Amino acid sequence: MEQEKSSKSSNGAKKIILSGIQPTGTFTLGNYLGAVRNWQKMQEAYACYYFIADLHSLTVHIEPAKRRAQTREAFALLLACGIDTERSLVFVQSHNRCHAEMGWIMDCCSPFGELSRMTQFKDKSEKHPDNINAGLFTYPALMAGDILLYQADYVPVGEDQTQHLEFTRDVATRFNHTYGETFKLPEGYFPKAGARVMSLQDPTSKMSKSDENPKATISILDEEKAILKKFKSAVTDSEACVCFRADKPGVSNLMTIYSAVTGKTMETIETEFAGKGYGDFKAAVGEAVAEELRPIRENYARLMDDRAYLEAEMKKGAERAECIARRTLAKVKKRVGLLLD
């Protein structure tokens, strides 16, 4: 659902939007159309802060070299998708030590009962029963610290994260009541509904990078041939009619993707492919997606070839982030009675 949000504060300054992504592999077409593409557009109206949440990724075991590589790749991918470091703040979470300090203070302000009711902890514990660690349990407290450090006005949230935002607001409210007004209460940002992209092989399930069927998911770094091949094998039905209906999930999913990429309405798409077979339709969707993703793939390759530039941008982002966060952290430490160095 689209929710209009004011982009300016009363003093005329741009309001702050903050969002973090874990370095857990390449974005899918679903991630891109549903969220990342909106991030690029939000740079015009808001002060956007984007970070790679590598500290959060520690709750799952990954080979150290792979984690480092994925962090660098995720940073490059944000830039390749159009996030401009001159207009937005882009940084790696662990490069700003304020996050770890703030995370511990938020841990100490988070009741055990509230943390134990977080549904994501229960879900992830079931998926990784051999690695139910304390970090997984206190994950929402670190997330609260991430948000409150920058006095964010808005946080883009999906259906699975609204509980975490409410937790953040509760922690901030409790802190303000106990120690005095310190934190701004962040609101959820629900941008104009991005495309909800489903699996190409099981259109009743959301497209996921963890899908074991490689034909089900489009990575935004897939080569054009791979994209066309995956759409060619996408599940549809036997009716051979391009129309958007609840009983045609496969075709409806392809129409959603085509609409998101081209800007065409469902009615226009139905007219365009009236009397044509699914082969023509799938080819058109594949070509449109390949063209949309081509500049991202090319930008990413260029960025990954220039490691010195990437590291310079990471350093610049970390310095800016720490300068902003340190002001809030100093105030928080003073409020709770810690001696300032």
Q: pLDDT (tens digit, 9 = 90+) per residue, 260-316? A: 999 999 999 999 999 999 999 999 999 999 999 999 999 999 999 999 999 999 999
Structure tokens at 292: 């949309």
**Which residue is listed with tokens 């909106």?**
38
Catalytic residue status for 206 = yes
Model confidence at 2, pLDDT cuts 50, 70, 90, reads very low
Model confidence at 16, pLDDT cuts 50, 70, 90, reads very high
Q: pLDDT (tens digit, 9 = 90+) per residue, 139-186? A: 999 999 999 999 999 998 866 678 889 999 999 999 999 999 999 999
Query: What is the pTM for the complete model shown?
Result: 0.88
Quick one: CA torsion of 175, 177, 183, 187, rounded to 10 degrees? 100
pLDDT of residue 326 exceeding 50? yes
3-class SS of residue 47: strand
pLDDT of residue 192 exceeding 70? no
Q: What is the pLDDT of residue 36?
A: 85
* Mean pLDDT along residues 126-137: 81
Model confidence at 202, pLDDT cuts 50, 70, 90, reads very high
Q: How many CB atoms lie within 10 A of CB 10?
A: 6
What does pLDDT average to over the chain? Answer: 92
Structure tokens at 113: 């009962």
Minimal CA–CA distance to 89: which of 316, 341, 267?
Answer: 316
**Cα–Cα distance for residue pair 293/94, rounded to 1 Å:** 30
pLDDT of residue 213 exceeding 50? yes
Q: What is the pLDDT of residue 27?
A: 87
* Mean pLDDT along residues 24-31: 86
Catalytic residue status for 225 = no
Catalytic residue status for 229 = no
pLDDT of residue 229 exceeding 80? yes
Of 15, 124, 230, 248, which residue is the catalytic one? 124
Minimal CA–CA distance to 199: which of 188, 209, 190?
Answer: 209
| pLDDT above 70: percentage of residues in the chain | 95
Q: pLDDT (tens digit, 9 = 90+) per residue, 56-111? A: 999 888 999 999 999 999 999 999 999 999 999 999 999 999 999 999 999 999 99
**Cα–Cα distance for residue pair 310/30, rounded to 1 Å:** 26
Hey, what domains does the chain have and what are their CATH numbers? Answer: 16-194+307-336 (3.40.50.620), 214-301 (1.10.240.10)
Of 5, 14, 184, 206, which residue is the catalytic one? 206
Of 41, 192, 209, 334, which residue is the catalytic one? 209
